[in-house]
Amino acid sequence: MTCFRLSFIMLFIFLSCTFWAQVLDTNIVLSPVKITANKEIFLVGSKLEKLDTLQLKSISSGSLNDAIKNYLPIYVKSNAGGLSTIRFRGTSAEHTAILFNGININSLTLGQSNISSIPLFIFDKLKIQYGSSASLYGSDAIGGSIQLENTPRWDKGISLGLEQYFGSFGSLFSGVKAGYSDKKRIFHLKIYRNLIDNDFPFINTAVKDFDSNKFVKDTTKNSSQKSFGFLEEMYYKYSDKLFFYSKIWYDNNCRQIQPNMSANYYGGDNAKIENKHLRAISGFKYYKGMGKFTMDFGYVYDYQKYNQNKNQIISTTSFITNLNYYYTKLWGGILNIGMLYKYIKPDVYAYKNDIKEDRIDVFGSYKKMVIPGFEAIINLRESIVVDYKKNHAPSVGLNYVMNLNKSRKLILKTSVSKSYKIPTFNQRFWYPNGNTNILPETGFNYEFGANLLSKFVFGNFNFSINAYQMIVDNWIQWINLDTWRPVNLKQVKNSGIEISLNTKWSINKFDYQTGFNYSFTRAKEVKSYQNINSSIGKQLIYTPVNIAKFFSSIKFESWIIQTNIAYTGDRYTETYKVLNRYWLWNIHLDKNILMSNHAINIGVSINNILNKTYQNWEYYAMPGRNFKFNLKYNFNEEE
C-alpha cells in the first residue's frame, strides 16, 4: 500500500506541475475536447432529472437539501440544525449514492451523507437518477443516485464571481469563484463560507403552559452552524487525443446538535459535531479511433470529532483506482468495460481491531440501437469485498421512441435492475455491538415510464409518468435484543407512481416556465426475520405517501420572479405517531444588470411565506417565515 499511496501522490504532483509548466506555451492550437458523463448514456430505461440554470441560480448559496425540498418529489428527514438525510422512493438514508465526479462520498462508517453540508455554490450541474443503478455506480444506489458535476469551459480567459447573502436568524454566506482558461488549460477555484445562528422563534408543542392551556413560545438554542471549504479544478489538454484533469474538494463544517423541543425548553447538553472532508480525484482520458481509455485516481478522507473529545474521533481514508475502456462501434453499439479498486482504512475509537479492507468491482455495459427508435442496454457488475462477500448487480433497459408528428414524440421505457448495499463499518465492527455476520442488503427494481415531448410555436411541453416496484431484502436496522445490535431485520416492498410536467414558452419580452412534480409512494414491510411483526403491512416511518412540488418563473427583460410551493403528506414516526401534512410557499425576485462581460445580480427571497408551523422530524423545530438578500457579481463567469 505504501507504493500505491506514493504513486497516487506523485500523480497529483505531476498533473499540477504539467499544468503550470505549460502556462507560457501558447503556440499550439487545439480543438475543444468534449467531456461527457459516459456512464449516463447507459441509463436507458431509467428516469433521470436535471435541475436547470434558473433553479440552481435561485439556491446557489444553499445546499443539496434546498434543491430537493424546493423542486424534487423526494422526502428529506431534517431538523433546522444542519442534519438532513434523504429518503428516496421510500428507502432509507443509506440507499442513495451521492457521487462527486463518479466517487461515492457517502460515509463509510454511517453509510449516508448529510445533504445539508453539500454546497451547491461549487457545482454547476445536478443530476438525479431514480431507481436502482448499482450496476453502474456500485454500492448504495438502491433508491437512486445523485450526481454532482462541473463542466469545463475552454478558452474563456480570466473569470471572476463574487456572491454575498445575509438573511434571517444570523445567516451569512460568502463565495468567490476565480479562474483562467485558454485552448489548452483550465484552472478554477471556488471558495465558500457559511454561518447561521439559527436562533428562530417557534411554538413548542412539547411543552404546555397549563395556566393558559397553550403551548409555550420558545427560541431555538444550540443550533448554530458554520462551514468553510473550496473546490479546485485543473484541466490540461496535451493534444486532441490526451486530456488530464484533477479536482480537490475540501470541506470543514461544525454544527451544534439541535436539541428536541423538550430539551430546548428545559435545558440539555451543548453538544456539537465537527466534520472535515477531503475528496480528490485526478486522471486522464486518451482517445484513439473509436475507443477511449480513462484512468482515475481518487482519495477520500473523512474525519469526525464529537464535542471536542479527542478520544472519540471517527475517520476513514480511501484510495481509489478506476479504469474504463469505451468502444463506440462494436457490432453497431457502444461498449464500456472496466475495473474499480478501493482500499479503505478506518480509524475509529470504537473498533477493537485494526481494520483494513480491499474492494474490487469489475463491470461492463453494452448499448445498441436494435432497430430505428428501439434502444437496449445491458449492464453487469461483480463487486468483491475481500474476506467478506460478493455482490452481483445486473440490469437491462429498453427505450422506444415514437415520432408522432414533426413536433411531438413519445418515449416508452422500461428497466429491471438488481442493486446492493454493503453494510457500513459501524454495523460490522463497532465494539461490542457490531455484527460481522450481517449480510448485504439487496434490491430488485422494476420500472416502466412514458415521456411525451411536444414543441409548439411559443415553446415546448414535457410530460412524464413513471411506475415502479422495488423489493429491498435483508434490510438492516439497529434493534434492542438484550443489547443494541444491527441485524438483517426485514424485507420491504416499495411501489409508486411519479408524475412530472414542465413547460416553457416565450411571448414578446416574457419568458415563462412552470413545472410540477408528484410522487405517490407505498413502502411497507412484508416480512420480518426477527419475529417482530408489529410493523408488517404499515407504511415505513418518515415516508409520506404523497409529495408534490410546483414551481414557476417569469422573466421580463432584466427581472425574474420565481416561486415554488411544496406539499408533504402525513408521515409516521418511530412511535407511529402521525406528523401532520404541510404546505410551504417560497418566492424569489431577481434584478440583473448587464454591462459587457460584467453582470450584477440583486435578489431577495421570502421562505415559508405563510409562516407555517411544521416538523420534518418529530419534536424538532423548523423555522417560520424568513428572508434572504443576495448580491452577486460576475465577470466572464457563467452561473
Asked if the model's pLDDT at residue 150 lies above 50, the reply is: yes
Per-residue pLDDT, 54: 82
Per-residue pLDDT, 224: 95
**Amino acid residing at 128:** I
Asked if the model's pLDDT at residue 157 lies above 60, the reply is: yes
User: Mean pLDDT across the stretch 327-351?
Assistant: 94
Q: Long-range contacts of range 16-19, CB-CB < 8 Å, 24 or more positions apart? A: 16/234, 16/246, 18/236, 18/238, 18/244, 19/185, 19/187, 19/234, 19/236, 19/244
Range in 22-36, 73-87, 521-535 with the lowest mean pLDDT: 22-36
Residue 629 pLDDT class (50, 70, 90 cuts): very high
The C-alpha atoms of residue 168 and residue 186 are separated, in whole angstroms, by 37
| Mean pLDDT, the chain, whole residue set | 90
User: Mean pLDDT across the stretch 355-365?
Assistant: 96
Whether the CA torsion 87, 578, 501, 124 is positive or negative: it is negative
In terms of phi and psi (left: phi > 0; alpha: psi -120 to 50; beta: otherwise), the region of 609 is alpha
* Cβ atoms of 94 and 24 closer than 8 Å: no
User: Mean pLDDT across the stretch 305-319?
Assistant: 93
Asked if the model's pLDDT at residue 396 lies above 80, the reply is: yes
Asked if the model's pLDDT at residue 508 lies above 90, the reply is: no
Residue 19 pLDDT class (50, 70, 90 cuts): very low
Per-residue pLDDT, 7: 43
Q: Does the bond joining 432 to the residue before it have cis omega, within 30 degrees of 0?
A: yes
Per-residue pLDDT, 533: 65
**Amino acid residing at 168:** S
Q: What percent of the chain has pLDDT over 90?
A: 80
Per-residue pLDDT reduced to its tens digit, 539-589 = 999 999 999 999 999 999 999 999 999 999 999 998 889 999 999 999 999
Q: What angle do CA 100, 105, 111 make, to 5 degrees?
A: 150
The C-alpha atoms of residue 452 and residue 74 are separated, in whole angstroms, by 22
Per-residue pLDDT reduced to its tens digit, 401-430 = 999 998 999 999 999 999 999 999 999 999
Cell of 175: 463565495
Strand segments, DSSP code E, in 596-625 are 598-607
User: Mean pLDDT across the stretch 193-203?
Assistant: 95
Per-residue pLDDT, 95: 96
Residue 638 pLDDT class (50, 70, 90 cuts): low
Residue 37 pLDDT class (50, 70, 90 cuts): very low
Strands 96-100, 144-149: parallel, antiparallel or unpaired by DSSP? Answer: parallel
Residue 457 pLDDT class (50, 70, 90 cuts): confident
Asked if the model's pLDDT at residue 639 lies above 70, the reply is: no
Residue 32 pLDDT class (50, 70, 90 cuts): very low
Element (H, E) at 378: strand 374-385
List CB contacts of 499: < 8 A, sequence separation 6 or more: 464, 465, 516, 517, 518, 519
Per-residue pLDDT, 13: 41
Per-residue pLDDT, 11: 47
Model pTM?
0.91
* Cβ atoms of 317 and 303 closer than 8 Å: no
Element (H, E) at 573: none
User: Mean pLDDT across the stretch 66-73?
Assistant: 93
User: Mean pLDDT across the stretch 387-395?
Assistant: 93
Asked if the model's pLDDT at residue 234 lies above 90, the reply is: yes
Place of cell 461549487: 122
Task: For the chain, give every domain's residue range.
Answer: 2-198+224-257+286-635
Give me the residues paired with residue 323 across strands: 295, 339
Neighbours of 94 (CB within 10 A): 26
Superfamily (CATH) of domain 2-198+224-257+286-635 = TonB-dependent receptor, beta-barrel domain (2.40.170.20)
The C-alpha atoms of residue 246 and residue 456 are separated, in whole angstroms, by 43
* Cβ atoms of 564 and 589 closer than 8 Å: no
Would you give the end-to-end CA distance of the chain in angstroms?
41
DSSP-derived 3-state class of residue 16 = helix
User: Mean pLDDT across the stretch 207-235?
Assistant: 93
